A and B are shown apart, each in its own frame.
Chain A
Amino acid sequence: EAQVTQNPRYLITVTGKKLTVTCSQNMNHEYMSWYRQDPGLGLRQIYYSMNVEVTDKGDVPEGYKVSRKEKRNFPLILESPSPNQTSLYFCASTQNGRNTEAFFGQGTRLTVV
């Protein structure tokens, strides 16, 4: 089954404690992306990747890092989480650079206290 898998689904952490949210896709897609979603602000793109070792900033990259060492994985790293990063996070993937549909993961609800 084609899917994008995020882990964990829920996470509560404390300010400053580094964390990683994993994202994996099994469709051999080239493009992957991270979004955060907050009430009243819709989906905002954090980072995206066009292929292995190629990443670029989205609209709200501050406080986040990403890496793309393998085609299937695109982890989101919060080096020093802060309460304003409490949000619902989604990972997505697309087959290639043309206009194809994006597949989204089920989301990770992060709370930073």
Chain B
Amino acid sequence: LAKTTQPISMDSYEGQEVNITCSHNNIATNDYITWYQQFPSQGPRFIIQGYKTKVTNEVASLFIPADRKSSTLSLPRVSLSDTAVYYCLVGGTNAGKSTFGDGTTLTVKP
């Protein structure tokens, strides 16, 4: 399984765009990249998933360069409620054999 590296923590202010980058140098050809959000004492929640280039949904965008060795989760105009831990997951199945990295603790300030 590809090991992932993310910043341990990030701070932002309400209304700003936040970009969290995940490094995954050993990503395999068939691997997808998935991001989850977790609030304290709750289960992780799916945010977005992609394979290459750019993916956008109603809450975030995911940018993946051509070499796929990294990915960037972009959260537009964050609010206080976006304060959470964000995990990047790379691999085959998301409930099969999988390894979560340490995650990035995002703190949004007023």
Q: CA–CA, A4 to B43, complex, Å?
A: 10
CA distance A100 to B95 in the complex (A): 9
Q: Is the CB of B101 within 8 A of A42?
A: yes
Closest chain B residue, CB of each to CB of A103? B46
Contact partner of B103 (CB less than 8 A), chosen from A42, A104, A106, is A42
| A:56-92 near B, CB below 8 Å | 56, 58-59, 88, 90, 92
Asked if B29 is at the interface of the complex by the 8 Å CB criterion, the answer is no
**What band does the interface of chain B fall in when counting residues whose beta carbon is under 8 Å from A?**
20 to 34
Contact yes or no, A107 B42, CB < 8 A: yes
| A contacts with B, residue count (CB < 8 A) | 33
The residue that B92 contacts in the complex, of A29, A45, A99, A106, with Cβ under 8 A, is A99
Q: Which residues of A contact B (CB under 8 A)?
A: 4, 29, 31-33, 35, 42-45, 48, 50, 56, 58-59, 88, 90, 92-94, 96-107, 109
21 A-B pairs whose Cβ atoms sit less than 8 Å apart in the complex: A31-B93, A31-B94, A31-B96, A33-B96, A44-B100, A45-B98, A48-B95, A48-B97, A59-B99, A88-B41, A92-B94, A92-B95, A96-B93, A98-B93, A99-B92, A99-B93, A100-B93, A101-B94, A102-B46, A102-B98, A104-B45
Q: Is the interface of A mostly helix, strand, loop or mixed?
A: strand
